Amino acid sequence: MRVLLLGGTEFVGRAVAEAAVARGWEVTVFHRGRHAPPPGVRVLTGDRNLPDGMASLAEGEWDLAVDTWSGPPRVVRDTLRLLDGRIGHYTYVSSRGIYDFPVPAPLTEERSVVIGSPDDGATDYRGAKAGGEVAAEQALGDRALRVRPGLIFGPRENSGRVPWWLRRAARGGPQLAPGPRTASLQYVDVRDLATWILDAAGQGLHGAYNLVCPPGHATMEGFLTACAEITGAGAELRWIDPEPILAAGVRPWTGLPGWLPPGEMYELLHRTDVSRAVAAGLRCRSVEETVADTWAWLREVEGEVPQGSQEGYRTAPELVGLDPDVEAKLLAG
């Protein structure tokens, strides 16, 4: 298989490239050159934000293309126009964030999404992904596969959520654990995401697929326990209900990375129906394996992680994390 990877080689894109190379496939990476590509790939350099930024894509044919773009939707439109007749199958990595409110549970792929246009320039993340999906549909019809992940975990994670929890566990001592402890935690390991994308493309699948682990595959308790155990610093989880956490001014999702109290946003991100993806071959490794491998990678890039370290390898701009003073007050009741 000849694969064209459109997008970064830092996290999701890199996992896709590595998985394809491991299969013996011929991989071409088109990116801006900000991160070193994995070994064994052919590299084309360009910037799709620039008027002549896709010159290096003017020639070539590929069996499948995988696109992780999350910027202006018109870039997806223009890319597919340039590649018209030269790619066999196309996968657009979208997001579950495009679903519109109110959010019913369970959330299936047939639910309505926010309005997006393939002609849009700069817009917010939800609009960008929605517009990218429309561009793919209009250009390719049933040759377009639209993958909708949510939280993506695993080694090289560049949002900083799992690394934050691992660093907190590495400090040891009493640790705030946000309840409910049995709440389902839906995410996908980046390596499982990459495997499914390549398998699905090879089968010629098309349409929209929610792509996270099934509800109940992991819980907040299982995730935080895994973080505490793998770091080996003796962190003691102290479970606290959502109400006092919110009353203390802690922001869900950013103040406690990835955590959401019961409500509509929780239903959207942690109670999604993924039966369609499972039927198409989705297999998810355990949360313990994902956490252990992320910790091993984090120690590799940062050395022995200091007990008091709150600095990140890299984190999303909106990630705040829990103030240690606020945590101490909540633990003290």
H/E stretch holding 79 reads helix 73-82
Please, are residues 117 and 126 in contact by the beta-carbon 8 Å criterion?
A: no
How far is residue 226's CA from residue 206's CA, in Å, rounded to a whole number?
35
Question: For the whole model, what pTM was predicted?
Answer: 0.95
pLDDT value for 143: 87
How far is residue 4's CA from residue 2's CA, in Å, rounded to a whole number?
7
Q: Torsions phi, psi of 272, nearest 5?
A: -95, 140
Q: What is the DSSP letter of 272?
A: B
Candidates 218, 193, 215; CA nearest to 281 is 193
Pairing of strands 26-31, 42-45: parallel
Task: Output the tens digit of pLDDT for each of the chain's 333 residues.
Answer: 999 999 878 999 999 999 999 999 999 999 999 988 899 999 999 999 999 999 999 999 999 999 999 999 999 999 999 999 999 999 999 999 999 988 777 899 999 999 999 999 999 999 999 999 999 999 999 889 999 999 999 999 989 999 999 999 999 999 999 999 999 999 999 999 999 999 999 999 999 999 999 999 999 999 999 999 999 999 999 999 999 999 999 999 999 999 999 998 898 889 999 999 999 999 999 999 999 999 999 999 987 664 333 334 445 666 889 999 999 999 998
pLDDT value for 322: 95
Q: Torsions phi, psi of 321, nearest 5?
A: 85, 160
pLDDT value for 317: 61
Measured on CA atoms in the order 28, 200, 90, 73, is the torsion positive or negative? negative
How far is residue 29's CA from residue 87's CA, in Å, rounded to a whole number?
14
